[in-house]
Each structure stands twice: as C-alpha cells, then as structure tokens.
A and B are shown apart, each in its own frame.
Chain A
C-alpha cells in the first residue's frame, strides 16, 4: 500500500498516511486528482480506479471515502477487506483514527488481522494518555492554587 486517504464527500481531507515518499507538493496534487476521480464516480460502479499505473481501491462509508493506493499486481478484493477491517475497528472503538491505523498497517503492510487485538492494544495506550492528562490537570490545579 502506497498511501491511505480519507476524504469527505465534499472533497475535504480527513486523514492521510503516506507509506511511500511523496513531497508535499505531490501529495496535494495526488489528493486533488484522486478526489476528482473518485467523488464523481457513480454508486454502482466498481471500487477500483486506475491511476498513474497504480490502482486506487476506495470504498464509501457514510459520507467518508476510504482510499488506498496499491500496485497493479496487488489483490484489490483483499484491500477492500482491509478497509472494512479498519472501519469495523474504528466502529468498535471510536477513538483516534490515526492511532488505530498505526496498529493495523505499518510500512504499507497489514499488521494485525484480529480486531479485538487492535482494540486491546489501543485502549491501554489511550488510558495511559488519560491518566497522564489527569495527572497534569491535578498538577496544574496545584499550581493554580499555589499561585492564587
């Protein structure tokens, strides 16, 4: 997988993740091109578009388009499953899409095929952050009180 894009129906970018090097300029060009191509496609057409010698597999969930760019010889149907996999995990655990994606894909390859495991891994990390936040709050409260 070369990159993952989440685009809203209006063409606004919601998440990008690049596994192959693209410069900032190229990135915005890619996003523009792909959103132009994908958002205009009708609902019953297939979920693949050919683009610059790659294939882009996309799927729409509610008003979000999940797009993944792959090589010509990769398995498109599997990528659809990966998108679905990711969406289901997002659904089950509604938190930061980025952190979940990091547990699912690394270096453009699938890392974990169990949804439960991903959730199990993300949850404690979030609780760690929560704990740290609470701690920080209490400290800032102390400081606030002290400086009163």
Chain B
C-alpha cells in the first residue's frame, strides 16, 4: 500500500457498513468515512480522489448528504486519464441534478472532449478513405486516441442524462455534427464503436430538444438519414428521436410523414421477416425493441392522416396475425400493434383484428397480459363500444381479481361501460362484490357505484334501493355529496317515504357503525318517524314490521351514544329527537331525558343545542309542533344548482372580489346540516354563518351583525336571540301566545315567503323597518306585536330617501327603497322591488349583487322566485349595505339578474351608481 494513503478501501467500507447492526452504528461509520473524505478534499488529495468519489456514491445511495463531493467530480472529469474521467462522470450523474449550478462548470469540460474527437473524425471523413480511417483507428488502439473515443462516449452519456437547457444550447452544434458523421462505407470492425456514438448522440439530441424545443428543426435532416441505417442501435435511437421531434413540431411531423413513411414500413417488413439473428433474438423474435419503436413511430405518422395510414395497413395486419404470442416479447409487440391500429385512421378490418387480440389477452392467465388488455380496452371503448361490451362478463370478473392493479383498471373500465341498458345487472354485481372486497378497495368501489347509481338510475325506488345496499356495506366511505343527494331524492319520492324509513330502520340495526347510514337513517326517522311506527305507505313488496315508538327512539339513543360517530351525526340525532318528541307525544319525557344528557357535553354545539331543545320541549309545547314540521320537499334542481353556486361563491371570494355572490350569504360546504334543516329551503339561501345556527334560520331571526362577524360571534348572538325569545315568552303570556301566530303564518307561506317577510307584510312597513334595523330585533318584534301596536313611524328612525329606480331595462325594473338608522349611519337598508315589464311570467328569478371591498353586503332571501308578467306583482328582497368608508365614498353596486323566460335562461347585468351621495 501507498504509505501516504489514508482511509479504507471502498470494499472495506461497504463491508463495514453492511456489518452494522443498528442504524446508529451505520451512521457512525458513515460519519467517520465522510470526515476522512472531507479531509482528503481539503488537502486536495489526488491519488485517492476516485476512490473517495466511489465511496461517496455509495454513501449517497444510502441517503446521506454528499454535496461536498460535487466539486470532486469536476476535478476528476478534468483529469487526463480515462479511469478518473469515467468515475467522475458517473459521480456527476449520480450526485448532481440539472438544477445545480455546479453543472455550469461541466459544460466547458464536456465541450473540450467532444471537440477533440470531432476534429479527429472530421479529418478522417474528409479523406474519405476507408483504409486510412481503419489504419488510424487500429493504430490508435493503444494510444490516447483510443481512449478519447470512450471519453466522448462518457461525455455524451452524461450530457444525455443530466444536461440543462443552457448546456443543451451550448453543445447542440457538436452533438448535431456527431449525428451526421456517418460514412456509409465505414463498416465492419470499427462500426460498432462509431455506431455507438451515433446512437448516444441521437439520444443526447432527445434530451437537447426536450430542453430547448426551438432547436428541434436542426435535427430534422440528420434524423432522416439515421432512419435509413442498418445498425439496430442507431436505427432504434433515430426512431426515438424522430418520435420526439414529431411531438415537438407539427412541421417535422409533416416532413417525416412525407419522406419516411414508406421507408419505415419497409424497415418494419424487413425486421418482421428477418431470419434468426442470435445477437438480437429475444424469445424467437428478432429485436422486439425495434419492432415496438417502429410501430410507435408509425402510429405517430398515421394518426390523422389517411394516406399514411393506408400505407401501413398491410404490415400492421401482418404483425397482428404473425407475431407469436406465447412469450412476453411477442405480446409486447402485439400490444403496441393494437395501440397503433386503434389510433391510426379507420380501418374496420384491422380494428376487428385488434379487438380480437385484446379479447385473447383478457382471457390470458398471465396477470400482466390481462392488465394491459384492460388498459387498452379503455382506449378502445371510445372507438368501438359494442366490441368492448362483448367482453363485459370477463371484465367484471377482473374487478374481483386478487391483484389491486388489475382491479383498479377493471373498475375504471366497467365505469366506462355502464349505460342505461346494463346499469341494473352491473350495479348488482358491483354491490355484491362490495360485501367481500378488500377494505382498501372499498373506497374506490363505493365512489364508482354511487356515481353510477346517481347518474343512471332508471327510477327513484331503484336508486334508493341501491343506496340502501351500499350504505350498510360501505357507509364510512360514502362522500357527503352522495348522501346529501340521497336525502334530496328521498324527500322528492313522497310515495316511498314509509318504505325508505322502514328499510333504513332495519339496516341501522345491523350496521350502526356506518357513519353515513346512521346519518341518513336518523334524518329519515326524525322526519318520517310516524310512518315507521304505523306502517304507512306500504309497498306490495314489503313485509309489515312492528316498530314501537320506543324502538324508534332507541335507535337514535344508541347512535348518539356511539363514540365513534362524529359531531355532525350526533347533532343530527339531537334534531331528530326534537322532531320525534312532537311526533311521539308518549315518548316526550324519555326524549327530553336523552336530550338533557348532552347538556354536559364538552362539544359546544351539542351542549348548546341540548339546552335549547330542552327548553323548547319544556316550556313551549304549543309552538313545538309547528317548529318541527316535516321539511318541505327539497328541490332537486335548486340543490344541484346550489352545489355549483356555493362553489362559485367560494372561488370568487378567494379572488377578493365578490362579483358572483349568490343571494344571501354564501354557504360553505362545511354546513350541510343547515342546508338540510333550513326550513325555507326553497329560498336560494337563508342568512347563516354558522353550521349550527339552524334555529336561527328556522325562525329567520336576523341580527345585523350575525352575517358579517366572525364564526364565534354569530353563534352567541343566535343563542342570545333565542334566549331572549324564550325568556320573554314565558313571563308574558300575552307575547307567548302571539308567538305561534308568527309561526303559523310562516308555516302557511313557507314555500315562498320567509317568516319575516310574511310577518312584515302582515303588519306593515313601519314595524318591518324598526324590526330589521333594531339592535334587539326580537324585543322589537314582540313589542310590536303587543295588543296596541304603537308602531313608530319610520321617519323617527332616520333620514328619509325617495325611492330610486336602480335598474331599468326593456323587461325589468328594480326600485330601491332606502332607509337608515341614526345610531348606525354606516348601515343602509335597502328594500328592492322587482317588477316584470313584459307580459310573460319569469320563473327561477334570482337577484345577485356585488360591491367593492369597502362595502359589506348582506342579502336576505327574496320574497319569491316567480315574477308574474305585466306588472301584476313583484318580488321584494331586502339588502343591507355597510359602508366602512362612510362619508368618504358612496355606494356602488354591480348586479346580475337571472331568470327563466318560457324555459329559456335569461341573464341581465348592470351597475348601480346613482345612490344618494351620503349613504
């Protein structure tokens, strides 16, 4: 050994690391080695540089930081000898990636090596004398020139693997020259070496054109000559480069299509018919790699061009029929061939051939082959659905395969294959399989089943039946949208309410741990509990069941006590209980006890609801039945529209400009409960900022602050209002008796008019003004309801403004009545009155408004969404604008009105800037 040497040999280090029993030991060894390598680096040690780099590469592979070795790579590359350069380049490719700046330094070194070699090659071509080249090359076998060839190889390899855009630009001309240096006379002995460099240069070019696409055109001509090559390596890489050029440039594609299609077809023919060649033989097939590349290039050339496609028909048919399919190599070629047939221009004969091949693949016992068949059939569906449908049974079997990759592919394929005619048997199969499938596959499977069922159900009962099968199996995997949609469908199927609630009752007995099943069941029992116990609405297929009122309450009691279920579910349970307390008077006391148990809940939401509900049951027997009326039918179109609408609102607020704000306050998806419980569900949206404030919605009590403050405050104010209501209600019988009146009014008009609106229209505008403006609205409301209503005239409350025409078009007029409270000059109350100027009725009328950032806008629900024609009625909607820059800027507003006229969607937009200046 060299007496100056330090450290261990590479082999010893690897052995030492392998011998380590714990990670800590390994770290210690690596640390020691790294320290000695660092020392060597700082000493600029020459002799062991390559060994140190080899060690570093090993350490790097183990995942330790090795950045300090990067410069060592460069030093080794700059060294004169081949061994140093070789390891230097290897280290370069491993330790660096293209984003690191050190790489810039490499460029010079690379250039130098190649230029040297090029000079030599160009010299030899000029003389065009085979003998001279041969002599040159053979004589150089043992001297520097020989090593130089390999060094060029190293350089090209490194360039191809890691070059950056800058390097690509710098070195492109050299690589391009190397590509072109192909003397057709140079054959035999030395052609291997030279071909190897041409091939390397071609692959290098791929990297270059991918990094710098504008260089593509420089390579088009050299490639054409590469495609005429006999040498497989060169041909292979030439084709690959050609494919990449076609991807980058339409012109190149056109050029190759004209110039090379026929030639390539001939090359493929030669390869297919070539005799046994041991060098390229793989399982009895001559060079499958070349086959595949040729087929791929033909696909690119044939796609979208009838002539080119025509030209390759014969050879594709030959490949498809003649290729042996008992080995992987043959199947790889067939696979590629099928793909080419599918994407070139239509030839029905070939397509039949291709689909047949896939059918054979599908019944193959090798999983790999089945996998690619499924993959390919997905593409074939768009081309020939019928042909794929024929294999449906086999595909369905693949969904049940033990291999996760195959299952996934098959499921996606089945999803594509489902249509109206086969949805029922396919869904049955999938649901049956759901019972036995792996846990980790259930999520995908459930999502697909739900999507199929929702999209293609022939009728409501089938839809509900399928969902009733899915929920007990995989309720924990069902997404929120899915069960929301299910509830919307259930409410719409009025003849199925009894059937549904009974089925759910049966299902929850056995599968009480499936979250979404519990939610849907609890909701339905709350709504349709009376139908459950009395077997109302029996279908012919149903067996009558005996459920007592106590049984129904049991179910909910069990659910609310189950700790695995989340807050939303338990909150739903509480609401269901409140509803049942009215539906089942005999259980009222028991329900009250259950509700009371949540009074001590640590979850604020549950605690609060529990207290509220308890007090409703205890003190307000008379209003309770009205409070918990069955929910009105949810409108399917509105529901799906709202799903889209709330998404739109979220998007627009995230942009900072609330241009598309829908009526009312935008709801977030996190408050689904409100959606479902919101009594005024027909209205586009009730004002609500917190998911739990449903009672507030229910009564449509609004405080001026609730919609605009943060998330905690509205809850508080909601409670306050409620408590106000309740505390006022009990001591004063007079007021208490008036409360049901309010609610009965609201009930009658529930479908179109909110409680508030009907109330105000009944009493007159004066109360309404004071009500909406007041700081303690309930107080005002109840005071205003007294036996002798001393309604304060609105004039006392603030300055008066004349009504203004805010917007007028040929079809529509919008009037604004403005009012203000002296205590809060920033806040303007607007009552918008919409009048239809045409003679036709407008339906689905929605008014939207947006304001600049310094304003805050709050829209209350409109009085309706149908606007009769010829001015025979109007819609009113209240708005409340808070001007944070009051006195400095005046109000402006952008509006959008959408409605349906004879079923056609209409949209009007405008800007209102004629507000009085001091608002």
Within 8 Å by CB of B233, from A48, A84, A102, A111, lies A111
For B206, the chain A residues whose CB sits under 8 A away are 107, 109
For A24, the chain B residues whose CB sits under 8 A away are 65
Q: How far is the CA of A106 from the CA of B279 in the complex (A)?
A: 21
B82 touches A132 (CB 8 A): yes
Query: Least Cβ distance of A61 to chain B in Å?
Result: 14
For B292, the chain A residues whose CB sits under 8 A away are 75, 78
Q: Is B525 an interface residue (CB 8 A)?
A: no
Q: How far is the CA of A143 from the CA of B1 in the complex (A)?
A: 11
Contact with A along B176-208 (1 / 0, CB 8 A): 000000000000000011001001100110110
Within 8 Å by CB of B403, from A45, A78, A107, lies A45
A125 touches B161 (CB 8 A): no
Q: How far is the CA of A136 from the CA of B451 in the complex (A)?
A: 71
Query: Least Cβ distance of A142 to chain B in Å?
Result: 11
Interface members, chain B 790-849 (any A CB < 8 Å): none
Q: Is A62 an interface residue (CB 8 A)?
A: no
Interface members, chain B 278-298 (any A CB < 8 Å): 279-280, 282, 287-290, 292-293, 296
Given known pairs A75-B332, A121-B196, A132-B82, the reply for A45 and B160 (CB within 8 Å) is: no
Within 8 Å by CB of A109, from B150, B203, B367, lies B203
B405 touches A49 (CB 8 A): yes
A113 touches B290 (CB 8 A): yes
Interface-located stretch among B368-376, B506-514, B695-703: B368-376
Q: Is B97 an interface residue (CB 8 A)?
A: yes
A117 touches B233 (CB 8 A): yes
For B98, the chain A residues whose CB sits under 8 A away are 21
Number of interface residues of A (CB under 8 A): 56
Instruction: Look across to chain B and name the residue whose beta carbon is closest to the beta carbon of A124.
Output: B150
How many Cβ-Cβ contacts under 8 Å join chain A to chain B?
Answer: 169
Query: Least Cβ distance of B394 to chain A in Å?
Result: 16
A13 touches B408 (CB 8 A): no
A107 touches B203 (CB 8 A): yes
A77 touches B203 (CB 8 A): no
For A75, the chain B residues whose CB sits under 8 A away are 292, 296, 332, 335-336, 339
For B293, the chain A residues whose CB sits under 8 A away are 110
A16 touches B61 (CB 8 A): yes
Q: How far is the CA of A13 from the CA of B236 in the complex (A)?
A: 30
A110 touches B61 (CB 8 A): no
For B204, the chain A residues whose CB sits under 8 A away are 106-107
Query: Least Cβ distance of B121 to chain A in Å?
Result: 18
B: which residues have CB within 8 A of A?
Answer: 2-3, 47, 61-63, 65, 81-83, 86, 90, 93-94, 97-99, 147, 150, 153, 156-157, 160-161, 192-193, 196, 199-200, 203-204, 206-207, 232-233, 236-237, 240, 279-280, 282, 287-290, 292-293, 296, 328-329, 331-332, 335-336, 339, 366-372, 375, 402-406, 408
Given contacts A45-B403, A82-B289, A110-B240, 19 further A-B contacts (CB under 8 A): A16-B94, A17-B93, A45-B406, A48-B368, A49-B404, A78-B289, A81-B329, A81-B332, A98-B90, A102-B157, A102-B161, A107-B207, A111-B233, A112-B233, A113-B236, A117-B196, A117-B233, A121-B196, A132-B81
25 contacts between A and B (CB under 8 A): A18-B97, A24-B65, A46-B371, A75-B332, A75-B336, A76-B371, A77-B369, A77-B372, A80-B332, A84-B282, A99-B86, A99-B90, A102-B90, A103-B196, A107-B160, A113-B232, A113-B233, A114-B233, A114-B280, A117-B279, A121-B192, A128-B82, A128-B147, A132-B83, A147-B3
